[in-house]
Amino acid sequence: MPEDTVVVKLFAGVKAAFGRPQIGVECGDGRDLRSVLLDACDTPARHRALFLTSGLLRPELQVLVNGRNVVFLDGLRTPVASGDVISVFPPMYGG
């Protein structure tokens, strides 16, 4: 991937909605998680996979930036820079 991109890794049902396991999103200075994820959602179905109609991130999703859960960072306002890796996990079930 070009060096001015962020990698968005998608897992399980989210991966199915996007049709691939990862996406490269262009990223310049001053971007945040929300803007990068919105750029990744290039269809209404993909947007619905990540966001509620209110624009909030789906609460059942776990999102990590460079291995750190954004709940413990700044949520959708978490700064993102070129070379970062965003991972999006739907709920996991099993036993």
CATH label of the domain that carries residue 15: 3.10.20.30
Number of domains in the chain: 1
Structural domain containing residue 17? 5-89
State pLDDT tens for residues 11-53. Answer: 998 999 999 999 999 987 789 999 999 999 999 999 999 999 9
Domain assignment of residue 83, yes or no: yes
Domain assignment of residue 41, yes or no: yes
Domain assignment of residue 52, yes or no: yes
CA-to-CA dists, residue 2 to 6, 7, 26, 61, 88, angstroms: 9, 10, 8, 27, 21
pTM listed for this prediction? 0.91
Instruction: Round the average pLDDT of the chain to a whole number and report it.
Output: 92
Domain assignment of residue 95, yes or no: no
